[in-house]
Amino acid sequence: MDKREENSGKTTLFRTCASLLVRMFLIVAAVVILLTVLMTAVYMIPTERIDRNVRKSADIINEEGVYPFLYSWCYSRLDNYTDALFLLEAAGPVSGNALRDAMAVPYGNYEVWTAPTEVMLLHYMYHKPYTKTEIYPRYWSAQLIFLKPLLLFTDYAGIRNIYRVLQSALFILAVVMLCRSGLALAAVPFSLAFLMMIPPVMWRSIHFNPCVCLSLLGAAAVLFLKKSGCRNSLAYLFLVIGALTSSFDMFSIPALTLGIPAVVLLISSDRQNVLKTWLRLFMAFFCWGFGYVLVWTSKWFLSTAILKEDVVADALGQAAIRASSQANRPDQSPFFYPSVMKKIRHVFWDNPFKYALRIYIAVISFYLVIRLVRLVIKIVKARRAAEKSVLSAFSDGLPAIGRVLAGGILPAAAISSMPYVWYALTLNHSGTHAFFTCKILIITIFSVFCIPVILIQEINRAESAL
């Protein structure tokens, strides 16, 4: 009988896993089909009005420069290089075959390849016609789904304002959801972490907008699903976030869309069962990676099939370079992890908001000590009232302490290590673009600074049990 029950349990588990994988594949397929349809649709939009607004945008790009500093009091670089590429793609020459253009993502250039910011200057300021059409097929570039329609009505400055409103609204939504979910204490490190990214930099750059929006939306969605009792949908949420990240992002700060929602998932969970806590986080990471990798690689294979070019080989070659320690030029030194981390830390911490973090550490530490002292006093009083040994309280509390460590502090520490693992896996990319890859360190800040929040939650639970 026991063996039958064991076999039945294994069969049920296998069916559950198989069902989950089938649904995940179907969701990924739906996302790929939707992306293909939407990208094809926006490439049917006439480009005359778009081109006029891109011409106006060229003035802004030309005035600001390639990687301008927004403020003098912190390291606040914009990525106008990639933004110029997006604008050129939005107004790029089309072949008349919308599906082919959606896969190719064409943009105007010259016989001798020229940087996008320089192309905007030559084409729109000096009226030099394009002599060659370049393509960028290894990314979905799904930002064009919104960028092309927006450029019918406004220019780069107007789009920046729209992104400012969007990011601000999503940030407020996430903070409100934290407060309504009984996590008001976590709203403080959450806010400080996002301040460390210098928000005006994030909404002024088209390149950074998707990851910021998806991380904020993901955090709010986790809390909404848990509050509405749809916990079984969390795996699919992370799957969709991963899929959308690879659709809209061009390898800027994708880890942000996983790390921030994962921390919110941890602090909003019960954590009474340590195994379930780790399993929940594992599923979040697995589903995000599943969606991210499959949707991105689907673009390589679709582009290869439709364009009759080996996009897969090109994408894998570029991925190998970005993951290596290879220097970008012969006169540069190779990228080594210690030097890359030194550069990233220097760029990230050149920020006055770090003093706000220090104040938070002092305040939350003081508050935590007070709560711990109060808990000890309550335990002593309860033990004396029950005529039990005060010293035995420590041995009785060991399982609870172990659960807090294994189910709260260690998972938070694991999530906080994400940026460092990411940097190790993408040495060339992280070192080359340290001015924006450093932004994912807010995952570490948010995760580590939520450890006091976890401890206070456990203190509240212990006090209520007395």
Q: Tell me the pLDDT tens digit for each residue of 188-209.
A: 999 999 999 999 999 999 999 9
CA torsion, points 389, 391, 396, 398, in degrees to nearest 10?
180
Contacts for 333 with CB less than 8 Å, ≥ 6 apart = 327, 339
The SS3 assignment for 95 reads coil
> What does 367-430 look like in DSSP terms, one character per residue?
HHHHHHHHHHHHHHHHHHHTT--STHHHHHHHHHHHHHIIIIIHHHHHHHTHHHHHHHHTHHHH
What is the model's pTM?
Answer: 0.93
Contacts for 65 with CB less than 8 Å, ≥ 6 apart = 80, 117
Q: Tokens 């930099």, residue? A: 201
What would the two tokens of residue 435 be? 């001015």
Distance CA 82, CA 208 (A): 10
Q: pLDDT (tens digit, 9 = 90+) per residue, 337-378?
A: 999 999 999 999 999 999 999 999 999 999 999 999 998 888
Q: pLDDT (tens digit, 9 = 90+) per residue, 43-60?
A: 999 999 999 999 999 999
pLDDT number for residue 16: 78
pLDDT beneath 50: ranges in the chain: 1
pLDDT number for residue 392: 62
pLDDT number for residue 5: 54
pLDDT number for residue 1: 46
Distance CA 416, CA 445 (A): 7
What would the two tokens of residue 444 be? 């570490």
pLDDT number for residue 377: 86
pLDDT number for residue 232: 80
Distance CA 37, CA 317 (A): 28
Distance CA 228, CA 140 (A): 33
pLDDT number for residue 390: 57
Domain ranges for the chain, please list them: 25-150, 162-465
Distance CA 212, CA 83 (A): 16
